[in-house]
Structure 1
Amino acid sequence: MAKRALGLGQKSKEKKRKLEEKQATDSRDATPGADQLSVEMDENADLDNEFSQLKGLWKTYFASDRESEMVLNGIVHECDRLLRQSSEDAAVKASLSGEFHSIYALALSELTIFKAGEDGDSKDEKLVKGFFDNALERCELGQSSFPDSALLNLVKAKIIIQRIPLEYISQLNVKSTGKRFDVDLDDQLEIAKKNFNIYDDDLQLSSEVLQMLDDLLDIVENFGHEDDIDEGLDSDDEEELEKIELSPSHPLFKLQKSVPENYKWLREQMIQLLQHIKEKDSKLYHDTARSIGHLYLKFAEEPSSEFMRLQYGDEEEDPKKQSASKDCINAQRNALKYTKEALKYLEKGKISDEPETWVEVAEAYISLGNLYDYQSKDQEHAYSVAETILKKANKASHGKFQDILDNLLDKE
Structure 2
Amino acid sequence: MQESDHGADFRWFFFFTISKKMAKRPLGLNKANKSKKKKLDSAEKAEKAVAKEISPENDESAEPAPALTLDADEEDDMGQLESLYKNWTSSERDSPRILHGVVHECDSLLQKAKGEGLPARFHEIYAASLLDLAEFADKKKPVKKKKVKSDDVAPETSDMFVDAALERVETGLEQYPEDAGLLFVKSRALKQDIDEKMSAVSKEERKETAKKMISQLNKILEVFKLAQKHASTVTPAQLDVVEELIELSGALESVVKQSDISETTLVACEKFYNEILASEKDENTVKKAHRGVGTCKMIVADSLLDLLDDDDEDNDDTVELAKKNLKAAIEHFQKSETDEDGEFMVTLAETMIQYGNLFETESDDQKKWYGEAVKRLRQAQRLGVGKYDEMILELEDD
TM-score by length of 2: 0.65
**Partner in structure 2 of residue 164 of structure 1:** 194
Q: Does the 8 Å contact 1:203/1:277 carry over to 2? A: no
**Partner in structure 2 of residue 293 of structure 1:** 294
Find the aligned partners of 1:369 and 1:191 in 2 and give their Cα distance: 36
How far residue 286 of structure 1 moved from its aligned partner, in angstroms, is: 5.6
1:209 and 2:237 matched: no
| Residues 114-139 of structure 1, C-alpha deviations (whole Å, 9 max, x = no match) | 44345146333786565444332322
**Partner in structure 2 of residue 51 of structure 1:** 78
Q: Percent identity?
A: 24
How far residue 110 of structure 1 moved from its aligned partner, in angstroms, is: 3.3
| Residues 284-343 of structure 1, C-alpha deviations (whole Å, 9 max, x = no match) | 766664454344222222445667968xx55xxxxxxx5xxxx51x22431222111111
Q: In 2 relative to 1, CA 87–374 (structure 1 residues): closer, same or farther, beyond 3 Å?
A: closer
**Partner in structure 2 of residue 103 of structure 1:** 125
Find the aligned partners of 1:128 and 1:362 in 2 and give their Cα distance: 34
Choose the corresponding residue for 2:224, options 170, 173, 196: 196
Matches within 5 A, 1:8-407: 8-10=6-8, 27-28=59-60, 34-39=64-69, 49-86=76-113, 93=117, 96-117=118-139, 119=141, 120=143, 122-124=152-154, 130-166=160-196, 168-176=197-205, 185-197=213-225, 198=228, 203-214=235-246, 216-217=248-249, 219-223=251-255, 258-271=261-274, 280=283, 289-290=290-291, 292-304=293-305, 313=312, 322=314, 327-328=315-316, 330-355=317-342, 357-372=344-359, 378-379=365-366, 381-383=368-370, 385-386=372-373, 400-407=387-394
Q: In 2 relative to 1, CA 37–348 (structure 1 residues): closer, same or farther, beyond 3 Å?
A: farther
Unaligned runs of 5+ in 1: 12-22, 224-242, 246-255, 315-321
Greater C-alpha radius of gyration: 1
SS of the residue corresponding to residue 124 of structure 1 reads coil
How far residue 50 of structure 1 moved from its aligned partner, in angstroms, is: 2.2
Find the aligned partners of 2:137 and 2:94 in 1 and give their Cα distance: 13
How far residue 178 of structure 1 moved from its aligned partner, in angstroms, is: 12
SS of the residue corresponding to residue 107 of structure 1 reads helix
Q: In 2 relative to 1, CA 271–63 (structure 1 residues): closer, same or farther, beyond 3 Å?
A: farther
Q: Does the 8 Å contact 1:300/1:334 carry over to 2? A: yes
Q: In 2 relative to 1, CA 287–35 (structure 1 residues): closer, same or farther, beyond 3 Å?
A: farther
Q: Does the 8 Å contact 1:7/1:218 carry over to 2? A: no
| Residues 393-412 of structure 1, C-alpha deviations (whole Å, 9 max, x = no match) | 6778799433333323333x
Q: Does the 8 Å contact 2:139/2:158 carry over to 1? A: no
| Residues 339-363 of structure 1, C-alpha deviations (whole Å, 9 max, x = no match) | 1111112213333145554454444
How far residue 206 of structure 1 moved from its aligned partner, in angstroms, is: 1.8
Q: Which amino acid aligns with 1:138?
A: R
How far residue 27 of structure 1 moved from its aligned partner, in angstroms, is: 4.8
SS of the residue corresponding to residue 203 of structure 2 reads coil
Aligned length: 337
Q: Which amino acid aligns with 2:185?
A: V
Q: Does the 8 Å contact 2:102/2:129 carry over to 1? A: yes
Find the aligned partners of 1:285 and 1:129 in 2 and give their Cα distance: 33
Unaligned runs of 5+ in 2: 10-54, 144-150
Q: Which has the higher contact order (CA 8 A, sep 6+)?
A: 2
Moved more, 75-84 or 354-363: 354-363
Q: In 2 relative to 1, CA 257–59 (structure 1 residues): closer, same or farther, beyond 3 Å?
A: farther
Please give the root-mean-square deviation of Cα atoms over the aligned residues, in Å: 4.6
Structure number with the higher helix fraction is 1
